[in-house]
């Protein structure tokens, strides 16, 4: 019979509290080791229900000791948002202003991840928009603000080298700070406000698309549309590559700056940031296209 150490029991209890506070039943676990040796995978993914996750704690502890960071996120669409890389003051402000986290984890000294429960499952686009809004509101990492970002699982050590104690060679434990569970007070109103913003942005894109279609109606039928570029397998769904390729093509075929602007904006550019940043992105793309056409001589 295997003797269960007190430390293992402690890890088990902490993991159980964390997954209970999420209110989720299925999880994606990521075991990450950037310096994996030989043919070892950098990321070892697992999909487990809560019972399997708890039974796997001893194996996770072994992998953690071997240098792997242990990450966790809900499987599929869900009701949570992760606000990453926030300080104690931000966590305090969340609670003061009606955004009480369901779960708070200290990933390294004085650095926290807060999970907020919206009280209902959000579709991916809305979930990402809400996560970005929360990151902006509380000073979180915008790069980690999307609908399925990994957070750290408490009870294991943070294996980043910069956090290793040079005196004893040990890494800090990821601590479970709060596990109240439940949704935050302003959830319904906040999510509705983001839904309205997304609806307005969608209306703007549709208006730009109509303008683009109307403006290009007089051109030859042989001139490609931006949608043809977007469906071209050569660009592998990379929106930035598509935008530039189309802008070069459209410039060479005599479309105006305004027409190219409207075409590029017919897709959702909110991931580029504010309206100002989106406009700057479109302007840079068109300038690159003009320069490319001039260099090739096709603009003469």
Of 159, 185, 211, the residue that ends a domain is 185
Find out whether 142 and 217 touch, Cβ atoms under 8 Å: no
Count of beta carbons in the 10 Å neighbourhood of residue 70: 24
Question: Does residue 286 sit within a domain?
Answer: yes
Same domain, yes or no: 133 and 20: yes
- Specify the pLDDT at position 209: 63
* 157 plus 81 within the same structural domain: yes
Q: What is the pLDDT of residue 27?
A: 98
Within-domain flag for 192: no
Q: Is residue 143 part of a domain?
A: yes
Full-model pTM: 0.72
What's residue 62's pLDDT?
Answer: 97
Inside any domain, residue 191? no
pLDDT of residue 299: 41
Q: Does 39 lie in the same domain as 179? A: yes
At 120 the pLDDT is 97
Task: Identify whether 222 is part of a domain.
Answer: yes
Both 244 and 110 in one domain: the answer is: no
Identify the pLDDT of residue 5. 64
Residue 123 domain-assigned (yes or no): yes
- Last residue of one domain, picked from the residues 185, 215, 246: 185
Question: Where do the DSSP E strands lie in 87-161?
Answer: 103-108, 111-122, 151-152
Residue ending a domain, among 151, 185, 219, is: 185
* pLDDT for the residue numbered 300: 44
Same domain, 70 and 150: yes
Find out whether 81 and 73 touch, Cβ atoms under 8 Å. no
Residue 37 sits in the same domain as residue 150: yes
Distance CA 6, CA 17 (A): 17
Instruction: Indicate if 228 and 122 belong to the same structural domain.
Output: no
Residues 234 and 273 in one domain: yes
Tell me, what CATH number does 126's domain have?
Answer: 3.30.70.1790
Please state the length of the chain: 300
Query: In tens digits, what is the pLDDT along the chain, a chain of 300 residues?
Result: 344 567 889 999 999 999 999 999 999 999 999 887 777 899 999 999 999 999 999 999 999 999 999 999 999 999 999 999 999 999 999 999 999 999 999 999 999 999 999 999 999 999 999 999 999 999 999 999 999 999 999 999 999 999 999 999 999 999 999 999 999 999 999 999 999 998 988 887 677 666 655 655 555 457 889 999 999 989 888 999 999 999 999 988 888 888 898 899 888 888 888 788 888 999 999 999 988 888 876 444
Same domain, 238 and 173: no
Q: Check residue 193 and give its pLDDT.
A: 96
Mark whether 132 and 180 lie in a shared domain.
yes
Task: Tell me whether strands 103-108 and 175-178 are parallel, antiparallel or unpaired.
Answer: antiparallel
Tell me: do 166 and 96 sit in the same domain.
yes
**Distance separating alpha carbons of residues 62 and 127, to the nearest angstrom:** 34
As for how many domains the chain has, the answer is 2
Q: Is residue 126 part of a domain?
A: yes
- CATH number of the domain that residue 280 is part of: 1.10.1240
104 and 114 in contact (C-beta within 8 Å)? yes
Q: With beta carbons less than 8 A apart as the criterion, state whether 102 and 74 touch.
A: no
Same domain, residue pair 220 and 88: no
Domain that holds residue 169: 6-185
Residue 131 included in any domain? yes
Q: What is the DSSP letter of 110?
A: T
Q: 66, 58, 57: which is closest to 35 by C-alpha?
A: 66
């Amino acid at each position: 019979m295997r003797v269960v150490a007190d430390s293992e029991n402690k890890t088990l209890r902490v993991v159980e509290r964390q997954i209970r506070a999420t209110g989720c039943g299925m999880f994606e676990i990521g075991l990450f080791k950037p310096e994996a040796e030989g043919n070892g995978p950098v990321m070892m993914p697992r999909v487990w229900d809560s019972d399997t996750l708890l039974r796997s704690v001893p194996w996770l502890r072994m992998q953690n000791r071997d240098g792997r960071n242990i990450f966790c996120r809900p499987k599929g669409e869900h009701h949570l948002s992760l606000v990453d890389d926030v300080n104690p003051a931000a966590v305090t402000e969340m609670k003061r202003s009606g955004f009480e986290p369901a779960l708070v984890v200290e990933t390294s000294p004085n650095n926290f991840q807060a999970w907020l429960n919206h009280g209902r499952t959000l579709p991916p686009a809305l979930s990402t928009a809400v996560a970005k809004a929360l990151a902006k509101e509380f000073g979180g990492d915008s790069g980690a603000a999307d609908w399925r970002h990994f957070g750290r699982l408490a009870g294991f050590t943070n294996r980043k080298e910069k956090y290793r104690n040079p005196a004893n060679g040990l890494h800090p434990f990821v601590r479970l700070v709060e596990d109240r569970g439940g949704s935050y007070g302003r959830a319904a109103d906040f999510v509705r406000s983001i839904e309205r913003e997304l609806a307005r942005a969608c209306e703007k894109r549709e208006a730009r698309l109509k303008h683009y279609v109307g403006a290009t109606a007089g051109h030859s039928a042989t001139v490609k549309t931006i949608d043809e570029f977007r469906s071209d397998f050569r660009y592998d769904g990379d929106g930035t590559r598509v935008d530039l390729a189309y802008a070069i093509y459209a410039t060479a075929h005599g479309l105006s700056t305004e027409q190219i602007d409207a075409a590029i904006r017919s897709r959702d550019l909110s991931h580029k940031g504010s309206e100002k940043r989106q406009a700057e992105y479109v302007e840079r793309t068109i300038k690159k296209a003009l320069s490319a056409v001039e260099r090739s001589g096709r603009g003469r």
